[in-house]
Amino acid sequence: MTTTTVTAPAPGTSLVRHGVIAWLSSTDHKHIGILYMCTSIFYFLVAGLLAMTIRAQLIQPNMTLLGPHQYAEIFTLHGTAMIFLSIVPFALGLANFLIPLQIGAPDMAFPRLNAFAYWIFFFGGLTIFSGVLVNGGAAATGWTAFAPLSDIRISTGGGQDLWIVGLLMTSVSGILTAVNFITTTFLYRAPGMTMWRLPVFTWEMIATSLMILLAFPSLAAVLALLFIDRNFGGQFFDAGAGGNPVLYKHLFWFFGHHEVYIMILPYFGVITEIIPVFSRKPLFGYTGLVLSAFAIAGLSMGVWAHHMFTTGAVANLFFSGVSFLIAVPTGIKFFNWIGTMWKGSIILTTPMLFAVGFMLNFLIGGITGVMIASPPLDFHAEDTYFLIAHMHYVLGGGSLFAIFGAIYFWFPKIFGVQLSERLGKWCFGLLFIGFNTTFFVMHILGMMGMPRRIYTYPALQGWGELNFIATVGSWIMAAGVFVFIWDVVSASLARKGVADDPWGGNSLEWWTTSPPPEQNFTSLPPIRSERPVFDAKHPELARRTGK
Amino acid sequence: MRNVRFVATTALLLPLAGCGVYGLPNGATQQAQTMHLDWVVFSDAGLVVAVLLFALIIAPLILWRRRSDAYPPQFNRNNRWEIAYTGIPLLMVIGLFAFTFWDEEIVERITAHPANTVDVVGFQWSWRFHYHNTNIDVVGTPQSPPQLVLPVDETTRIDLTSSDVNHAFWIPAFLFKRDAIAGISNHFDLQPTRLGVYRGVCAEFCGLDHALMSFTVRVVSRGDFARWLRNGGSSAILSAKGASL
């Protein structure tokens, strides 16, 4: 008989020391999380460059830098990449990295399914962008691809089909990942980690995963129907043959408005992780905040047709009423964050600055959201630059600011490398000023009468000036992103080491080494509240919560 | 306390100062009066909430910056505040919804006997206006946008549809738009209150020349309108009354 000795890998093994093959074949949740996040940052940069082109074209009236078809391809790819290939997958990647660490587990419940989900997402993204190589160019019908505009008789190019197939792949990827998150959180929690002691980011990901399971099948369905219409003689959306273009809008927006919350709840979670750490206080109103996430997920079942107020084909008042109600749980989160900072001991590190920027920007997006939830206001604002401003305040000023906050907060944990606080603050300042310069004036442009998705506009009073301001803002934002890239590159080259818990963190990921070892933990502290690491380091302040 | 009152008063009056609210047109129809009031009410309420919450977010950053390594009191709940910040926003949105509830009905109300009816059809990439019970049929192109002539102080019914992809019929000065969708006929009433020439556009992306799919709306006196109808829609007989855009 021979005996086998199992030795655990040494803690602190660097993640970067593996070969390329090891990365491609890895089922480690940390590797997959990093792959997701890097891919989504890549697409963020691509989509950002596309946005810069849009702003360049609109810098003054009657510009001819881009033709109408090119312009349509660019705004379609910009929206598609930001939503499906950047903001959502960054959240999935961050959750992949964090959920097992936050609940004290060695990996996800289904590691191979996890790798499979990443790779179909990866090839889905390539499929969407491969449209630029085919005859007729990439999809040019907007990220919503409304039929009958996306019908084969009008959008004849293969780019639209590649867009459909690529998006189907990313939606399947999302469904598989959501199943994995829910199973992992319900079954793999460490002893003592009860549901009411889960870190809020993990809670928000449970709510997000439930919404993915409800919404993505609707997206898959509408894409499949559109594919059948285009390629196999279907007539689901052809009014001339008994189909109905409004059906497309219903199926799309039933997915689409969940998608809005899928893009924001994970980032509510990010902000909620950052604020208590830099306020040196426990989260204010933990239970209310968790319940508010599920209230948003529940209410989001009944708001999709607020995107259809102007169709004249839906019960406007019902969808308006439910949309108004969403403001209440969203407001609760704001007061949770304010209550956490209240009488705290606040230090404005880069992640905290991004959290504050998130709150200020998202508040403006939330307020304009309540305005356009009212049909009599939406009749003017729908499909205008007012709407563009609203949605970018929520997703750009909101989600993207939280993405930068998350990177500055967890970069030391993920790579064992500290980013520069000085450059981080420059990055924040430029992004905050640039963002508000670009998007605030768009509210006014929309009210004055500028519709969205136009490649050129006449020289009407004030339009040129406001568009010029918006374009200048986009240059300031680009400078901020450049500082960020510079920071990441120089920090990675300098490889200045970092402590396991550089910020004084609360949740379990700060207990293990930076970066974490392959099996995540060699020991765990006792878990008696939602901030076990804080409790272990400050027994005199520790308090038992949850059941 | 006096400061708070000053800020609140300024915030309420700010949007009302000057002409128009943040670039919002004044609203040149009966229906637009209601929608304009809604914009003022909602943006004022929004401004009050924004100022209050901005203050609540920024104040802690100034008042409670880290000055020592000591830990602040570790409180994490307060039932009374939690009920307040759930209940007060709930009451606010119920109030705003009440406004919506009444005004939606007013804006969408359709009279039984409109003075005129116009069929509007959106197509790639212009508009067709057909006046009921006449031979007047205006068809535009992207290069020569069509003109919709409406009488002032009379109700005109618009029957809207599309002959191909989705479009949206939007007249910014009327603060109103409605989608033009193939297979669906949308009806709404417009009662212009001011003479003038206004800009109209397609608001829903509809392909290549979407940006050029505009039209003009010319609001004329009832006498002019009657003469215009009698002359089969010849714009030459219209007097050049009314400001442009």
Q: In chain B, what are the domains? A: 2-108 (no CATH), 116-237 (2.60.40.420)
The chain-wide mean pLDDT, for chain A, equals 94
- Predicted confidence band at B62 (pLDDT cuts at 50, 70, 90)? very high
| pLDDT of the residue at A544 | 83
Are A407 and A492 spatial neighbours (Cβ–Cβ below 8 Å)?
Answer: no
The chain-wide mean pLDDT, for chain B, equals 89
Judged against a pLDDT cut of 60, whether residue B9 lies above it is answered with no
| pLDDT of the residue at B21 | 64
Judged against a pLDDT cut of 70, whether residue B13 lies above it is answered with no
The distance of B171 to chain A (nearest Cα, Å) reads: 8
**Record: contact A374-B96, CB cut-off 8 A:** yes
| pLDDT of the residue at B243 | 43
Which residue(s) pair with B171 in the sheet? Answer: B176
Give the integer Cα–Cα distance in Å for A91 and A41: 11
What CATH fold (topology level) applies to the domain A29-537? Cytochrome C Oxidase; Chain A (1.20.210)
- Predicted confidence band at A258 (pLDDT cuts at 50, 70, 90)? very high
DSSP characters over A341-376: HTT--B---HHHHHHHHHHHHHHHHHHHHHHHTSHH
Between A334, A347, A462, which is nearest B53 by CB? A334
Percent of chain B with pLDDT over 70: 88
B96 touches chain A (CB under 8 A): yes
Which residue(s) pair with A146 in the sheet? Answer: none
Per-residue pLDDT tens over the stretch A373-395: 999 999 999 999 999 999 999 99
Are A146 and A249 spatial neighbours (Cβ–Cβ below 8 Å)?
Answer: yes
Residues 6+ apart with CB under 8 A from B95: none
| pLDDT of the residue at B1 | 42
Q: How far is CA B57 from CA A294, A400, B92, B111, in A?
A: 24, 19, 20, 49
Percent of chain B with pLDDT over 90: 84
| pLDDT of the residue at A495 | 82
Are A306 and A320 spatial neighbours (Cβ–Cβ below 8 Å)?
Answer: yes
How confident is the model over B54-77, as a mean pLDDT?
95
Of A134-138, A256-260, A410-414, B232-236, the least confident: B232-236
| pLDDT of the residue at B100 | 94
The distance of B77 to chain A (nearest Cα, Å) reads: 5
Give the integer Cα–Cα distance in Å for A476 and A482: 10
How confident is the model over A43-71, as a mean pLDDT?
96
Contact residues on chain B for A286, CB-CB shorter than 8 A: 76-77
Query: What angle do helix axes A245-262 and A200-231 make, rounded to 10 degrees?
Result: 160
Higher pLDDT, A222 or A495: A222
- As a residue count, chain A comes to 547
Contact residues on chain A for B24, CB-CB shorter than 8 A: 380, 447-448
**Record: contact B184-A312, CB cut-off 8 A:** yes
How confident is the model over B113-120, as a mean pLDDT?
96
How confident is the model over A70-75, as a mean pLDDT?
97
- How far is it between the farthest Cα atoms of chain B? 87
**Record: contact A374-B23, CB cut-off 8 A:** no
Is the four-CA dihedral A407, A408, A409, A413 of positive or negative sign? positive
> Nearest residue on chain A to B181, judged by CA atoms?
A245
Are B176 and A380 spatial neighbours (Cβ–Cβ below 8 Å)?
Answer: yes
Per-residue pLDDT tens over the stretch B124-152: 999 999 999 999 999 999 999 999 999 99
**Record: contact A541-B38, CB cut-off 8 A:** no
How confident is the model over B103-126, as a mean pLDDT?
95
Residue pairs spanning A and B at CB distance below 8 A:
266
How confident is the model over A251-262, as a mean pLDDT?
96
| pLDDT of the residue at B245 | 43
Per-residue pLDDT tens over the stretch B168-184: 999 999 999 999 999 99
**Record: contact B100-A320, CB cut-off 8 A:** yes
Give the integer Cα–Cα distance in Å for A465 and B80: 49
Between B34, B56, B64, which is nearest A345 by CB? B64
Contact residues on chain A for B187, CB-CB shorter than 8 A: 312
Give the integer Cα–Cα distance in Å for A132 and A233: 25
Burial-class residue A291 by CB neighbours within 10 Å (0-12, 13-18, 19+).
middle
Place of tokens 């085919």: A134
- Predicted confidence band at B20 (pLDDT cuts at 50, 70, 90)? low
Query: What's at A147, amino acid-wise?
Result: A
Between A141, A245, A343, which is nearest B181 by CB? A245
**H/E segment holding residue B160:** strand B156-162
Contact residues on chain B for A244, CB-CB shorter than 8 A: 183
Judged against a pLDDT cut of 70, whether residue B191 lies above it is answered with yes
Which of 19-58 (B) contact A at CB < 8 A?
Answer: 21-25, 34-35, 38-39, 42-43, 46, 49-50, 53-54, 56-58
Contact residues on chain A for B211, CB-CB shorter than 8 A: 68, 454-457
How confident is the model over A339-348, as a mean pLDDT?
97
pTM of the model: 0.93
| pLDDT of the residue at A51 | 98
Per-residue pLDDT tens over the stretch A8-47: 445 444 445 568 888 888 999 999 999 999 999 999 999 9
Give the domain ranges of chain A.
Answer: 29-537
Give the integer Cα–Cα distance in Å for B160 and B237: 27
Burial-class residue A330 by CB neighbours within 10 Å (0-12, 13-18, 19+).
buried
